[in-house]
Structure 1
Amino acid sequence: MHLSTREQHALARVFALLAEGHAPRPLRLALGEALLDLLQADHFASFVWDGERGVFQDGVWLNMDAANLAAYDAWFQHHDPITLKLQACRHATEVSEVMPYDALRRTAFFNDFLARDGLHWGINLHAFEGDHALGDLRIWRGRQRVGFDAHDKALLDLVEPAFVAALARQRADDTAARLSPRERAVALALRRGLTDKQIARELDLAVTSVRTYLVRLQQKTGAQRRAGIAAWASRLED
């Protein structure tokens, strides 16, 4: 893959941002500015999927109208024909890959939401850690521009691992801060491969109490199995 000098400098800025340890919301906003430069695009938005409520939330955006985004939060996201399809792809995907532009332009979502801010050609990247949605990147160009192509997708594919890692680190830090001392001790014991009975003996707990802590850890970390909790706990300091 050939990168121009401009793209090399823009990518360096992107990777520097992702390594700096920003909180997720400021990170997504700063990253949006860098990605508009990298992809020579015009508009940016980013949300986090709340699977329990079935909504996108915590939006940040650039070069879009706040009132239009409020309408997205309240109504348009529930009548959005493309974003859940883009999310299901789990990699950089052009909007035209999930819905032809001729069909999209006939929808109220396009005419009453996208077009109001001049959004025409789009590409998305949705970041996941396992089955947990961490955040997305929605990048658009105006109608008078050319659409995104395979090179643009490849650039976002280069960014994806570092984007996922940055959001996953912050998620782990936030979750770790919410653990009780006992939950933390159980998580660290799982990381060492101990059984429930071994954890109970080491921490002077009943086995039933250990299993209660495991349920709480599943709820807080999003891990479905004890192996997932152990993997998550690999980020914890002893």
Structure 2
Amino acid sequence: MYLTGSEQHALRGVFTLLAQDERNEREIRERLGWALLDLLHADQFASFVWNTESRSFGARVALNMDPANLDRYAQWHQHHDPITFVLQSHRRATRVTDVMPQRALMRTPFFTDFLSRDGLHWGMNLHAFEGERALGDLRIWRRKGRGDFGDHEKALLDLIEPAFAGALQRAQRAATAPALPAPRGGQEAAWALLSAREQEVARCVREGLTDKEIARRMAVGVPTVRTYLRRIFDKLGIERRSALAGWGTPAR
């Protein structure tokens, strides 16, 4: 498989992202989405997790799409979706045109009342599973003028799939792991429980930075900062930001 220099650079970034264990599964899907828009020359991205109990797609992440339109998808369109369940059954990168001719899709209410509202024309999906359990999906779309995805783009997405599935599995296991007992040895021992990124966030709080200022400094989103803060509070056994601000953190 031939890769251009820009593709090699983009894939290195993707695999670096997916190898990191400090991110929650929602952040993984969001940051991967931005990377895939660049790698696959796409315009819109969405990601959901299939819930077998409710028989619906939830845990939405979306880029360059109208939230109100996505709300309509959650309420109605996903239950009248002629393509996604077929794409899901393939369990590998699959173009929408591989499961339904484009002209046929364009005649459906799903296209005219949902996809076209956000300019979604050419699509490709990948649905990751652990056995029979759905981990999360990747839905990548292009506007009409871009042209359809090809075999090369499908191969790139399939190349990423094992690392994507592994990252989601680790993040989901970490989210359900029992809380650690309070460490012995005082604040120094408690501080050692924090990851490098969590320590960085804690230092920023001690400097008096807001969540937005921390996000800007660390080049992450505000929700990511707040996720780090929740983990820090849990690990240090505190409940308030003021308690963290007064925490006796070690010097760098």
Uncovered stretches (5+) of structure 2, i.e. residues with no partner: 180-252
- Verify: 1:91 aligned to 2:92, yes or no: yes
- d(CA) in 2 for partners of 1:177 and 1:85? 37
Please report how far the alpha carbon of residue 10 of structure 1 lies from its aligned counterpart in structure 2 after TM superposition.
Answer: 0.7
Please say if residues 48 and 59 of structure 2, whose CA atoms lie closer than 8 Å, have aligned partners that are also in contact. yes
Which residue identity does 1:7 align to in structure 2? E
Please report how far the alpha carbon of residue 138 of structure 1 lies from its aligned counterpart in structure 2 after TM superposition.
Answer: 0.1
Render the CA deviation track for 1:76-113: whole Å, top value 9, x for unaligned: 10110000110000000000111111110000000110
CA RMSD, Structure 1 to Structure 2 (Å): 1.0
Q: Aligned with 1:140: secondary structure?
A: strand
Structure 1 equivalent of residue 41 of structure 2: 40
- d(CA) in 2 for partners of 1:168 and 1:96? 30
Please say if residues 24 and 175 of structure 2, whose CA atoms lie closer than 8 Å, have aligned partners that are also in contact. no
Which residue identity does 2:139 align to in structure 1? R
Structure 1 equivalent of residue 4 of structure 2: 4
Uncovered stretches (5+) of structure 1, i.e. residues with no partner: 179-238
Alignment length, in residue pairs? Answer: 178
Q: Aligned with 2:144: secondary structure?
A: coil
- d(CA) in 2 for partners of 1:169 and 1:20? 10
- Verify: 1:114 aligned to 2:115, yes or no: yes
Structure 1 equivalent of residue 137 of structure 2: 136
Render the CA deviation track for 1:155-192: whole Å, top value 9, x for unaligned: 001100000100111222233338xxxxxxxxxxxxxx
Structure 2 equivalent of residue 13 of structure 1: 13
- d(CA) in 2 for partners of 1:64 and 1:107? 20
Please report how far the alpha carbon of residue 140 of structure 1 lies from its aligned counterpart in structure 2 after TM superposition.
Answer: 0.3
Render the CA deviation track for 1:58-86: whole Å, top value 9, x for unaligned: 10111100100011111110110000110
The more displaced of 87-96 and 16-25 is 16-25
Structure 1 equivalent of residue 29 of structure 2: 28
Render the CA deviation track for 1:100-156: whole Å, top value 9, x for unaligned: 111100000001100000000000000000100000000000011110000000000
Please say if residues 123 and 149 of structure 2, whose CA atoms lie closer than 8 Å, have aligned partners that are also in contact. yes
- d(CA) in 2 for partners of 1:145 and 1:169? 35
Give the TM-score, by structure 1 length. Answer: 0.73
- d(CA) in 2 for partners of 1:20 and 1:171? 13
Q: Aligned with 1:144: secondary structure?
A: helix
- d(CA) in 2 for partners of 1:53 and 1:18? 28
1:186-197 pair list within 5 angstroms: none
Please say if residues 127 and 138 of structure 2, whose CA atoms lie closer than 8 Å, have aligned partners that are also in contact. yes
Give the TM-score, by structure 2 length. Answer: 0.69
Moved >3 Å (runs of 4+):
none
- d(CA) in 2 for partners of 1:54 and 1:125? 19
Structure 2 equivalent of residue 148 of structure 1: 149
Which residue identity does 1:132 align to in structure 2? R
- d(CA) in 2 for partners of 1:59 and 1:114? 16
- d(CA) in 1 for partners of 2:76 and 2:12? 38
The more displaced of 128-137 and 17-26 is 17-26
Structure 1 equivalent of residue 249 of structure 2: none
1:58-77 pair list within 5 angstroms: 58-77=59-78
1:170-189 pair list within 5 angstroms: 170-177=171-178
Please report how far the alpha carbon of residue 56 of structure 1 lies from its aligned counterpart in structure 2 after TM superposition.
Answer: 0.1
